[in-house]
Structure formats: structure tokens, C-alpha cells
Amino acid sequence: MTTVTLVPGDGIGPEVSAATRRAVDALGGIEWDVQEAGVVAIEKFGDPLPKHVLDSIRTTGVALKGPVTTPVGSGFRSVNVALRRELDLFASVRPCRLYEGVPSAFDDVDLVVVRENTEDLYEGIEFEVGSRELAKLRGYLKYMHGYALAPDSGVSVKPLSVSATTAIVTYAFEYARRHRRRKVTLGHKANIMKFSDGVWLQTGEELATRYRDVGFEATQVDELAMWLAWAPDEHDVIVLPNLYGDIISDLAAGLVGGLGVAPGMNLGRDYAVFEPTHGSAPDIAGRNLANPIAMMLSAAAMLRHIGRAADGDRLERAVASVLASGEVRTADLRPHGSPAGTSDVADAVVAAIEDAP
């Protein structure tokens, strides 16, 4: 038995987690340490990310996590940002593969978006419009650089470091090598942001010279977005700083059937947290409407990560067979007949696991 921390999350989290847990339990071998985070934890413990959740992940080394709501303007920190920071989960990896039977404008998509998870505009260095701190910053910018910042601006700072870039780009190349991928594309906007994206581009180009067995190209991120919408099979592994990675990975999820089928993982040197790309979807929460497949595919990646590759493959094959048959589909996958519920998908995946040992 391997113990894995399970954070069901909130919104649709508990539903997709329960469905996924049933599928993983059908394979056997996993013991769950269930931990609450998000809105449920605020109600119970007054903290959306109580210390015992982190303690559990530090003990097990690995978590399967449902989505967690970030309450807007409540003063609570984002659980997702805090988790990534506390556990130094510097790499977000989002495979976007088109499965047979999933409606898409394309026939063949198999991309992996590798996103830097710790810095960039998401680092949280922010200056509120009208604040004393911002007034000081305006004074400094005027005095040191002659730059007149409009008095009604808000400011977010974008740091990109050589060390974080080295870690993520190295990870992307190693991933490409390990999975026999043909090319790494590095997205940037170094022509505009010379001192932040400039660091990213230059560091990436230097590292690429050490991986001559893997193809490499650097592309401006706006051009990359156009190419992905036009010819996604031109790309393979895509490495991006935090903000571009957030946007482009959702775009890539849209190429392969949407958020309901897009898995994800957050990886660090010591810990790993596997979670779907989607959020807590409050619009459909508690109604047995959510597609659990993104979370099931995240669980398949988790099983491979902990050395249970055969179980991970078996789970992915079961999910793929349910998608290919097209008989049990939640509403987001545009079913021909009446849409299936979250629990129907769990039933079908468990049956497929039991049918194909």
C-alpha cells in the first residue's frame, strides 16, 4: 500500500474526487490520507490551507488534489499559489492529448505545456492604486528613471530569474528526452520586456545548446498562440513563464476537448501535487454534472509518478475506452443523447477497469 494525500477541495472538487477515488480504488494499492482545504477548511479551521494539509503532503510526498476556490477580495490567500510556494512546486506540467471520441476541431493533438510556477507576475509583488507604497514607487521611478507613472495606475511586478528559468527549462528538456519528444518550444516576449523575458530567452537559448538531441525553437508567445490555434501538431513540449503558461495551457486544453479532460501536475524536487487544470466550477457544483476525467487522468499521472506505471496506464486506457465508446459523456463533451452525470462516468470507468485487467 502507498499512502497518498487526497485533497477533495471545494465546488465540484468533492464530486470529481469521489469519482476518481472510486476508479483508483478499483485498481487497489492506494491508501488515502484525506485532508480538507478551501472553503470547507475556512468554515472548519478558519484557514483555507491549514498546516496539517501541508504536513500530510510533506509526509506522503504526493497529493491528488481537487480544485479549490480562491474567494475574491476576502483577504484569504490563494490555496493554489500558497501550496506551490510552500512545497516549492516549481513546475506545472499539463499534457494535452486528444483522445478518440472527444469532439475537437483537430484530428491529432498531443502537446505538453510546461509552466514555471513560482515567479513572474504571479509572484505577488503588487502596488494598489492610490496606496502610500505606490506613491513612493512613483516618486522613485520619476527620480531615478524620469518615468512618469500615471497616478491612477495599479502596478504588478514581473520578476524572472536566471535560476528559476534554468530549473524549468532544464525540466522541460529532461522531460522531452525521457518521453522521446521531438521538440521544445520556448515562448517569450523578449522583444518588449527585454529585462524579464530577456533573461528567460537568453537562459533558455544557452541551455538548449546542452540538449542538441532534442529540437528547440524560441517563439514569441502571441505567434505561438496563433500557431496552436492553426496547426497544433507543429508543436510538442512548450515551456513558458507563469502567466503565459496559465493562458496557453487553457488554450491547449481547448484544443483537446476543454477543461473537463485536461489533467495537470505540479512538481518540485521533493513533492508532487496532481490536479486537474480546471477550477471549482461553482456554476455546476453539487449537481452531478462535472466531468471527472481531468481528475482521473491526473490520478493516472500520479500513479506513474509513485512507480505504479502499470496501474496508471490501466486507468488511462479505461478512461480512453469510455471516451472512445461515446456512450457515457458529461454535458461539456457535447453528447449525442442525454448527458451522463459525474457518477455515471465513474461507473463506466470502474467497469472498464474491471473488464480489462
The CA-to-CA distance between both ends of the chain, in Å, stands at 19
Minimum distance of ligand NAD from residue 83's CB (angstroms): 9
Least separation in angstroms between CB 281 and ligand NAD: 4
C-beta closer to ligand NAD: residue 214 or 284? 284
Nearest to 266 by CA among 284, 290, 291, 249: 249
Q: Which helix (H) or strand (E) element contains residue 4? A: strand 2-7
244 is catalytic: no
The catalytic residue among 183, 189, 236, 347 is 189
| Closest to 20 in 3D by CA, of 315, 328, 351 | 315
> Amino acid identity, residue 222?
D
Chain position whose Cβ is nearest to ligand NAD: 279
Give the active site residue among 222, 233, 270, 313.
222
Residue 94 interacting with ligand NAD (CB under 6 A): no
| The one among 181, 235, 278, 304 contacting ligand NAD by CB under 6 A | 278
Cell readout for 36 is 480538507
CB 345, min distance to ligand NAD, A? 10
- Regarding 281 and contact with ligand NAD (CB under 6 A), the answer is yes
Does residue 283 belong to the site contacting ligand NAD (CB under 6 A)? yes
For ligand NAD, the closer of residues 210 and 287 by Cβ is 287
Instruction: Find, among 284, 305, 255, the residue nearest to 292 by Cα.
Output: 284
Single out the segment in contact with ligand NAD by CB under 6 A; choices: 50-58, 158-166, 225-233, 277-285.
277-285
Q: Round to whole Å and give the CA distance between 142 and 207.
A: 37
Binding to ligand NAD (CB under 6 A) within 3-42 occurs at 12, 16
69 vs 118 by CB, closer to ligand NAD: 69
- Asked whether position 262 contacts ligand NAD by CB under 6 A, the answer is no
Only one residue has cell 478499483, namely 26
The one among 290, 318, 320, 349 contacting ligand NAD by CB under 6 A: 290
Q: Which residue has the cell 462535472?
A: 290
Please give the distance of CA 42 from its chain centroid, rounded to a whole number. Answer: 23
| 122 catalytic per annotation | yes
- Is 222 an annotated catalytic residue? yes
Which of the residues 319 through 348 are near ligand NAD (CB under 6 A)? 330, 332
Catalytic, out of 246, 311, 332, 344: 246
Q: Which among 352, 354, 341 has a CA at the least distance from the CA of 292?
A: 341
Least distance from C-beta 262 to ligand NAD, angstroms? 9
Number of residues that bind ligand NAD (CB under 6 A): 22
Question: Rounded to an integer, what distance in angstroms lies between the CA atom of residue 127 and that of residue 161?
Answer: 21
The pairing of strands 183-188 and 237-240 is parallel
Q: Of the candidates 184, 177, 178, 126, which has an alpha carbon nearest to the alpha carbon of residue 154?
A: 126
**Binding residue (CB under 6 A) for ligand NAD from 259, 306, 315, 319:** 259
**Residue 44 CB coordination number (10 Å):** 10
The CA distance from 161 to 305, in Å, is 28
Q: Is 245 in the site for ligand NAD (CB under 6 A)?
A: no
> With contact defined as beta carbons under 8 Å apart, do 239 and 197 qualify?
no
Question: Which residues are designated catalytic?
Answer: 122, 189, 222, 246
The footprint of ligand NAD (CB under 6 A) covers 12, 16, 67-70, 80, 259-260, 275, 278-284, 290-291, 294, 330, 332
